[in-house]
Amino acid sequence: MREVSIGISEIDDLRKVRRGKVRVGSPDMLAIDAIAPFLRKFLEDNPRIEVDVRIADKAELLANHERLQFDLLLSFNTPQLIGLKVLAEFKMQSYAVVPAGHPISAKDFTSLAECAQFPLALINDPAVKEGILTRMEATAGFKPRVVVTTNSYAFMREVVASGSAISIQAAFEGELRYRNPELAYVPIRESLGRFSTLGCLVPVSRRLSAAADLFIGSITASLASRLA
Structure confidence by residue, pLDDT tens digits, 46-92: 999 999 999 999 989 988 888 889 999 999 988 777 788 999 999 99
pLDDT in tens, 188-216: 999 888 889 999 999 998 899 999 999 99
Q: How far is CA 93 from CA 40, 164, 173, in A?
A: 25, 23, 8
- pLDDT above 90 covers a percentage of the chain that reads 71
Q: What confidence score (pLDDT) does residue 173 get? A: 81
Q: What confidence score (pLDDT) does residue 177 get? A: 72
Q: What confidence score (pLDDT) does residue 141 get? A: 96
Q: What confidence score (pLDDT) does residue 184 get? A: 95
Backbone φ, ψ for residue 57 (5° rounding): -80, 170
- Other Cβ atoms closer than 10 A to 23: 19
Q: Which one, of 193, 188, 181, 177, lies nearest residue 226 by Cα?
A: 177
What pTM value is reported for the model?
0.85
82-86, 109-113, 181-185, 198-202 — which is least confidently predicted? Answer: 82-86
Residues of the chain with CATH 3.40.190.10: 8-91+197-227, 93-195
Q: What confidence score (pLDDT) does residue 7 get? A: 55
* CATH C-level class of 8-91+197-227: alpha beta
Q: What confidence score (pLDDT) does residue 17 get? A: 57
Stretch 119-144: mean pLDDT? 95
When the pLDDT of each residue in the chain is averaged and rounded to a whole number, the result is 89
107-116, 128-137, 197-206, 207-216 — which is least confidently predicted? Answer: 197-206
Residue 6 has what DSSP assignment?
Answer: S
What is the rounded distance in angstroms from the CA atom of residue 156 to the CA atom of residue 149?
Answer: 8
Bridging pattern class, strands 49-55 and 20-26: parallel
- pLDDT above 70 covers a percentage of the chain that reads 91
CATH fold, domain 93-195, is: D-Maltodextrin-Binding Protein; domain 2 (3.40.190)
30 pLDDT higher than 80:
yes
Stretch 165-173: mean pLDDT? 93
